[in-house]
Structure 1
Amino acid sequence: MTHLEKLTLYLRVRNRSSFVNGTHLHNEILVHMPQLHTFIFYISTENNINESVHRISNDDIQQTFTHTRYARTGCMVNYLNTFKAICHVFSLPFTFTRLNMITNQFPTIIFDYVTHLHVFDVVSLKHEFFIRISRAFPMLQFFSLVNIMFQSWDVNEWQYDNNSTFLQLLNILILYHLTSRAHLPRLAELKVSYDQLKMVTMNFTRDATRRNCSKVKRLIVEESTVFSKDVYQYFPSL
């Protein structure tokens, strides 16, 4: 591999003793490839952490990318909870289509090629978060969100009875922000409860949510449902 001139790496690593950073990449890869002139990479390292250990920051990781053979690089160090953290290092521009396990603490970068995004966070997400998502990921088609905290949104506008569960209400709020507050013109797949979808779209008449539904080619609902004519008019690409 000493004659390799171009290398593309997409790696997800778990349970290392330390995060993969610029120093590691230089010592383990670049020094063995003297003719390498193009290095495109995304590497995430998910590790268990000890609360007593110093928390590594984005700046700590970024400072390891000092070798002149690196082009522009970016990084994200996300602490998922008190015992687990994940570090993402990548070349810029980010040319891969998938980005997994990021939190709401992502840099002000435009990820022009990302179509699949998975977000995990333990803090309350406000509607500004979804605006940032729509701006940072203009090509987004598939979006997955795991968040266990109650959201800082006004729930008074939603009518629900005592039989509504917390998870149902949370899903409704997430759906509302994705389809109304954010601009996702390339959203191609949507998985949702049919009853929640009817509520958010006001029985498929609400214009504010219509714009993000026009490109959806696959609508997955939890219940066995025969779609009405109104559904197909609201989702013309089905």
Structure 2
Amino acid sequence: MEYMCNVANNFFGDLFMSVRQLQLYDFFARISRAFPLLNILNVISLHGQKKKLTHQQNEHKQTSSIIEYPHLMYLSLNRVYVDYIKQFLFESNTYLPYLNKLSVQYQDLIDAIENFTNNAEKVNCAKLKYIILFSKPSMYPENFHDYFPSLINKLLF
């Protein structure tokens, strides 16, 4: 099986070595362990996270471990709450060594990274070569390209 669709938060975390694309709703740590070769992830959630990471509640105290997706190249966060964007883009939450394509609502991205003033997500954002934005901004903030230095006129709408 190379494709799995609509996994919900009742998933218990079995091992699926050949799955490379996944659509899901929650439980990111179990997903990273169960799908070690995952390279496409489409997160859809109609609700915000009920159990936020400790440092999202208190930025000075982190007790949760960093989740790693060692092969993830494409991440779609179009139909999610801002806390899911923080989950994936903040390097203190998630390590994405090969992420090069992100699909996201522009305003949600702005809200998640606090109008490009929060440096916690710069590491995961810096590697992006493509961003698919679902809502074109009238103009980008001055430091937009500081967060996305690998983008060279590769914004897609």
TM-score normalised by structure 2 residue count: 0.59
Contact kept in structure 1, 2:45 and 2:80, CA below 8 Å: no
3-state SS of paired residue (2:22): strand
Change in Cα spacing, 1:169 to 1:117, as seen in structure 2 (3 Å) is closer
Is 1:220 aligned with 2:126?
no
Deviation at 1:221, TM superposition (A): 1.8
Change in Cα spacing, 1:191 to 1:132, as seen in structure 2 (3 Å) is same
Q: How many residues align?
A: 124
CA distance in 1, matches of 2:17, 2:131: 25
CA distance in 2, matches of 1:136, 1:231: 34
Task: Give the aligned CA root-mean-square deviation in angstroms.
Answer: 3.3
| 1:171 alignment partner AA | Y
Q: 2:118 aligns with which of 194, 200, 206?
A: 206
Match of 1:5 in 2: none
Deviation at 1:229, TM superposition (A): 5.0
Contact kept in structure 2, 1:140 and 1:186, CA below 8 Å: no
Q: Greater CA radius of gyration, 1 or 2?
A: 1
3-state SS of paired residue (2:128): coil
Change in Cα spacing, 1:111 to 1:182, as seen in structure 2 (3 Å) is farther
Deviation at 1:234, TM superposition (A): 0.9
Deviation at 1:178, TM superposition (A): 1.7
Deviation at 1:220, TM superposition (A): 1.7
Q: 1:234 aligns with which of 143, 147, 152?
A: 147
Contact kept in structure 2, 1:140 and 1:184, CA below 8 Å: no
TM-superposition CA deviations, 1:166-218 (whole Å, max 9, x none): xx995211111122222222222222222221221122232322222222222
Is 1:197 aligned with 2:109?
yes
3-state SS of paired residue (1:236): coil
TM-superposition CA deviations, 1:118-169 (whole Å, max 9, x none): 11x5xxx4xxx22333444455443212334453145x96xxxxxxxxxx99
CA distance in 2, matches of 1:135, 1:217: 26
Contact kept in structure 1, 2:98 and 2:127, CA below 8 Å: yes
CA distance in 2, matches of 1:172, 1:100: 22
Q: Which runs of 5+ in 1 are unaligned?
A: 1-41, 43-95, 158-167
CA distance in 1, matches of 2:31, 2:125: 17
Question: RCO greater where, 1 or 2, for CA within 8 Å and sep 6 or more?
Answer: 2
Match of 1:163 in 2: none
The aligned runs of 1:83-98 (5 Å cut-off) are 96=2, 98=3
Spell out structure 1 runs of 4+ moving beyond 6 A.
none
Q: 2:40 aligns with which of 139, 142, 156?
A: 142
| 2:99 alignment partner AA | L
Match of 1:132 in 2: 30
Q: Which runs of 5+ in 2 are unaligned?
A: 58-77, 152-157
Identity %: 28
